[in-house]
C-alpha cells in the first residue's frame, strides 16, 4: 500500500517533496486536480465533490494513507471524509489533513496573536481560528483571504505574486506568528519573510509536514507496517498542459507528471 497526497493543483508537490526528503523509502502517489483549480473560490458543495472524487481515485491506486495537502479541501471536506465517507467506503484507509499539524507548530508558549492568510473558502470556514482557540481560547486570531495569490503562483508569475504578498503583509505586522494556510504559499514564503518584521514567525507547511508525518507513522505502527518501501513515486494530475509540466519540473526534474487516465 502507498501514501497518497491530494491537492487542488500543483502546490501540494511542495508538501510531497517534504515527505520524500524526510522519508524517501516509501511509495507515494500524488494527485493534483488541476482541471478544477483554484478550489478557494468554489462553493463548499463543489469542493466536497472534487475532494471525494480525488480520494476515491487515490484509494483505487492502492493508497492506504491519504493526506489532503489542500488546506481548502481540509477545511471543507476532512471531517465528512473521516466521519462518514471513509468508514463506509474504505474503513481500512486513513485520511489526514494539514491544519492540525500547522496549528500545533504555530502555538509557541509566548504566542498571543496569530495571523492566517489563506484562500477565501478556508477563511470562510474559520477552521484555523476554531482549532487555534480550542487549544488557547484567549488567542487573538486574524484571518485574511488572498484570492489572487494561488492563480499567480499556478501561472508561474512570481513577479505578480511578490506584489500581492507586499499588499497583504502590513496587515500581519503586529502578529507573533503568520500561518501560510495554503499549500501553494510555501513557494512564496521568502517574500513573506522579506517584507514582514523579523519578529513575525512565518509558518510554512513544507517545513513541518515531513517530520509530522514521520512522527504519525512512528505512533501508528499498524499503518506504517502496511506501507510499501520501494521508493516508487507517481505524480498525476486531472489535466496536463505544457505550463503545468514546467512548474512540476522545477520541483521534481527527474519525475514526470502524467495526466490521469479516466
Q: Is 63 a catalytic residue?
A: no
**Catalytic pick among 13, 54, 70, 96:** 70
Structure-block grid coordinates of residue 194:
522579506
What size, in residues, is the chain?
262
Structure-block grid coordinates of residue 200:
513575525
**Catalytic pick among 18, 106, 127, 182:** 182
Cα–Cα distance measured from residue 208 to residue 189, given in angstroms and rounded to the nearest whole number: 13
* Closest residue by Cα to residue 146 from 176, 113, 119, 115: 119
- Catalytic positions are 70, 182
Amino acid at each position: 500500500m502507498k501514501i497518497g497526497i491530494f491537492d487542488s493543483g500543483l502546490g501540494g508537490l511542495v508538501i510531497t517533496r517534504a515527505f520524500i526528503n524526510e522519508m524517501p523509502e516509501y511509495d507515494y502517489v500524488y494527485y493534483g486536480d488541476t482541471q478544477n483549480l483554484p478550489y478557494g473560490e468554489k462553493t463548499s458543495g463543489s469542493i466536497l465533490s472534487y475532494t471525494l472524487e480525488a480520494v476515491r481515485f487515490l484509494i483505487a491506486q492502492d493508497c492506504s494513507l491519504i493526506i489532503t495537502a489542500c488546506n481548502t479541501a481540509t477545511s471543507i471536506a476532512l471531517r465528512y471524509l473521516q466521519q462518514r465517507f471513509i468508514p463506509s467506503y474504505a474503513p481500512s484507509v486513513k485520511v489526514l489533513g494539514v491544519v492540525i499539524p500547522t496549528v500545533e507548530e504555530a502555538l509557541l508558549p509566548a504566542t498571543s496573536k496569530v495571523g492566517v492568510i489563506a484562500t477565501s473558502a478556508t477563511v470562510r470556514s474559520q477552521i484555523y481560528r476554531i482549532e487555534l482557540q480550542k487549544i488557547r481560547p484567549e488567542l487573538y486570531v486574524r484571518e485574511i483571504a488572498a484570492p489572487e495569490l494561488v492563480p499567480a503562483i499556478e501561472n508561474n508569475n512570481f513577479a505578480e505574486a511578490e506584489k500581492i504578498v507586499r499588499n497583504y503583509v502590513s496587515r500581519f505586522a503586529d502578529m507573533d506568528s503568520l500561518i501560510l494556510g495554503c499549500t501553494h504559499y510555501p513557494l512564496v514564503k521568502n517574500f513573506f519573510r522579506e517584507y514582514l518584521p523579523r519578529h513575525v514567525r512565518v509558518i510554512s507547511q513544507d517545513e513541518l509536514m515531513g517530520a509530522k508525518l514521520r512522527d504519525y507513522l512512528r505512533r501508528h505502527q499498524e499503518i506504517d507496517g502496511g506501507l510499501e518501501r520501494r521508493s516508487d513515486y507517481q505524480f498525476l494530475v486531472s489535466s496536463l498542459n505544457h505550463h503545468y509540466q514546467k512548474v512540476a519540473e522545477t520541483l521534481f526534474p527527474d519525475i514526470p507528471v502524467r495526466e490521469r487516465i479516466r
